[in-house]
Amino acid sequence: MEEMLLPAEKMTPLYRLRHSLSHILAQAVLTIRPDAKMGFGPPVDNGFYYDFDFGDNPISESDFKQLEETMQRIIKEKQQFEHLDKPVDVAVAELAAAGQKYKAEYAQYLADNGYAPNGTLSFYRNGPFLDMCEGPHLGATNEVPKATFKLDKLAGAYWRGSEKNPMLTRIYGLAFPTPAELKDYIEKRELARQRDHRKLGKELDLFEFDEEVGSGLPLWLPKGTVIREELEKWAKETEFKAGYQRVSTPAITREQLYYTSGHLPYYKESMFPPMELEDEDRYYLRPMNCPHHHKVFATRMRSYRDLPLRLAEYGNTYRYEKRGSLSGLMRVRAMCMNDAHIYCSPADVKQELKSVIEMYKDYYSHLRLGDFRVRLSLHAKDNDKFVDQEAEWLRSEEIVREVLNEMNIGFEEEAGEAAFYGPKIDIQLKNVMGKEETVSTCQLDFVMADRFGLEFNNAEGGTTAPYIIHRAPLSTHERMVSFLIEIYGGAFPTWLSPNQVQLIPVNETVIDYTKGIEEKLRANLIRAEVDLSSDSFNKKVRNAVTSKNPNIWVIGSREAEEQTITWRRYASKDQVTLPLSTAIETLIKMRDSRLMDNFADVALPVTA
């Protein structure tokens, strides 16, 4: 178990600082709540935490001040950290006698599972406080530099991470090597909140939630819908060029379909409950599109000549995500997925996977989503989460691994993260608050063809089960848009932007000319708006900028006279006056090439 190891990162001064602070916190907590039962108290990447069971004497954030003062006192006392080993039976008995039942339980666990090889367990003492702990720590409490920590928040956490166990109260603290770094972290976190897709989504009128409609059920407003539809248009073009065919299937189905697929009863908890009908089967809202597509494959006899068959659909799906895990557009209960299923012969599967991954690369580099992690999600042995076909698992995992290696894609393998029917390539992105989510997934399925009886006539006159590739490079609209909002800070490129050109007339005399420009733009299917409000010119510029319009065209008497516009871009302070016709052509070019002009290094593609 890794807690027993002392890898290099655990030896760093920062690790020692944070780990020592968690002990100092625990001592402070026991000062004001002597009956608190301790859980775990490790360092984390922004500080430390410690878990406690407060019984019927709970703590609240209003106690933080007193706790911090007590911690300061402990620091001033220059308590030495002292390491000692205790025989297992002594350790367990003493912890139990002290009423530290979680510590005693864990001590017994360590002993029972071979983590006390010398028959002893490691403890650290500082002042009156003793904790079972592998260390390392600072030499003494006064080595904590001034103003480098701050208690952050309270949270619930299950003992040993299992929801079957009691819920403990976790106290989080921030800790950094210097006061400046602590301050910087707090400021950066505040800045990050400004980019939160939930905040920007409201400010930019992209989407809303309504209590009466329900949790996790987003209402996409007109401006947000523009972004969805532009992404969808892009996907449809891309998939058309790559030989996909579109299908359209219902978001509801009879119960039997999910017994065939195996989602029932296993995934029942994540599905909306069935609709009960008189004299009829039960119906479910679909949590995924796959089974419907498999049924499309099964509508006729397939020949190897038809393969690979690539069926695509932006499909609406519904999942009953747990209340507490819902989060803006990031985790929802109704979503629309950039889905497709590729049915191919075993001989073609590597090539098809490569083509899919090429498509991912194109999308990601175009959108400038560079900061992702590729995870090869594998099955775990002896886990009933996964179908029990060990040989097939190993074979299909090796296929995916080979493909990634042959394409020189860096990835990390993780056991236990696969779909129940096959290994996955997951693209992991961190949201603005640092929380990682899977944005896109690509799965190799060796199970469903058999379950659905899918096969094709092969060249030798027999039949073969196809491999099925499930892929969703652009994720769901919900999750992709939430990431784009945060990564772009709400400033979309022209092609994705709800309003592509904000027209600002400088005075009343040019309103007709400006309205004429709007008409010309709309005739070219460019979204444009004229600011006809009675606001001052400066205010109109401000409004156009704060609403993150990619392009502001200023039109005054000079422009009207010369049939020009003055172009100010969101990403660039420079502005340029161009003939109207040139400007419109440039805009069309930007749209059609899906130019990422929300990045400052991208120049206006003006050709004289």
Partner RNA sequence: GCCGACGUAGCUCAGGGGUAGAGCACUUCCUUGGUAAGGAAGAGGUCAUGGGUUCAAAUCCCAUUGUUGGCUCCA
The C-alpha atoms of residue 608 and residue 606 are separated, in whole angstroms, by: 6
Question: Which residue, 76 or 539, is less far from RNA as judged by CB?
Answer: 539
Question: Which residue, 9 or 384, is less far from RNA as judged by CB?
Answer: 384
Q: Which pairing describes strands 467-471 and 334-344: parallel, antiparallel, or unpaired?
A: antiparallel
Q: Report residue 216 as tokens.
A: 């996790």
Q: Give me the least distance between CB of 578 and RNA, in Å please.
A: 12
Give the list of residues 6+ apart from residue 224 with CB closer than 8 angstroms, or none. 201, 205, 206, 207, 481, 498
The C-alpha atoms of residue 39 and residue 41 are separated, in whole angstroms, by: 7
Q: Give me the least distance between CB of 83 and RNA, in Å please.
A: 29
Q: CA–CA distance from 437 to each of 442, 452, 479, 606 (Å)?
A: 15, 31, 9, 39
The C-alpha atoms of residue 38 and residue 55 are separated, in whole angstroms, by: 11
Burial 549-574 (b: 16+ CB within 10 A, else e): bbbbbbbbeebbeeebbbbbbbbbee
Q: Give me the least distance between CB of 267 and RNA, in Å please.
A: 4
Question: Which residue, 300 or 323, is less far from RNA as judged by CB?
Answer: 323
Q: Give me the least distance between CB of 278 and RNA, in Å please.
A: 27
Question: Which residue, 224 or 287, is less far from RNA as judged by CB?
Answer: 287
- Residue 110: exposed, middle, or buried by beta-carbon count in 10 A (0-12, 13-18, 19+)? buried
Question: Which residue, 128 or 156, is less far from RNA as judged by CB?
Answer: 156
Q: Give me the least distance between CB of 547 and RNA, in Å please.
A: 10
The C-alpha atoms of residue 30 and residue 67 are separated, in whole angstroms, by: 10
Radius of gyration of the chain (CA): 30
Q: CA–CA distance from 174 to each of 19, 21, 151, 181, 388 (Å)?
A: 12, 10, 6, 11, 44
Q: Give me the least distance between CB of 443 and RNA, in Å please.
A: 7
Residue written as token pair 């319009």? 549
Nearest to 461 by CA among 256, 250, 304, 317: 304
Q: Give me the least distance between CB of 257 and RNA, in Å please.
A: 12
Question: Which residue, 242 or 326, is less far from RNA as judged by CB?
Answer: 326
Beta bridge partners of 334: 318
Q: Report residue 337 as tokens.
A: 């997925």
Q: Give me the least distance between CB of 444 and RNA, in Å please.
A: 13
Please tell me what DSSP assigns to residue 379.
Answer: -
Q: Which pairing describes strands 372-378 and 412-415: parallel, antiparallel, or unpaired?
A: parallel
Please tell me what DSSP assigns to residue 307.
Answer: P
Question: Which residue, 374 or 541, is less far from RNA as judged by CB?
Answer: 541
Question: Which residue, 230 or 339, is less far from RNA as judged by CB?
Answer: 339
The C-alpha atoms of residue 551 and residue 595 are separated, in whole angstroms, by: 13
Q: Give me the least distance between CB of 577 and RNA, in Å please.
A: 7
Residue at 307: amino acid letter: L
Question: Which residue, 464 or 564, is less far from RNA as judged by CB?
Answer: 564
Q: Give me the least distance between CB of 514 and RNA, in Å please.
A: 10
The C-alpha atoms of residue 355 and residue 361 are separated, in whole angstroms, by: 10
Within 10 angstroms of residue 534's Cβ, the number of other Cβ atoms is 6
Q: Give me the least distance between CB of 168 and RNA, in Å please.
A: 8
Question: Which residue, 209 or 488, is less far from RNA as judged by CB?
Answer: 209
Q: Give me the least distance between CB of 153 and RNA, in Å please.
A: 5
Question: Which residue, 170 or 302, is less far from RNA as judged by CB?
Answer: 170
Q: Report residue 584 as tokens.
A: 């419109």
In angstroms, the first-to-last Cα distance of the chain is: 67
Q: Report residue 558 as tokens.
A: 């000079």
Q: Give me the least distance between CB of 251 and RNA, in Å please.
A: 13
- Residue 310: exposed, middle, or buried by beta-carbon count in 10 A (0-12, 13-18, 19+)? buried
Question: Which residue, 521 or 552, is less far from RNA as judged by CB?
Answer: 552
Cis peptide bond upstream of 308, omega within 30 = yes
Range list of β-strands (E), 346-498: 372-378, 412-415, 424-430, 436-445, 456-457, 463-464, 467-471
Question: Which residue, 178 or 215, is less far from RNA as judged by CB?
Answer: 215
Question: Which residue, 77 or 392, is less far from RNA as judged by CB?
Answer: 392
Q: Report residue 415 as tokens.
A: 């056991």
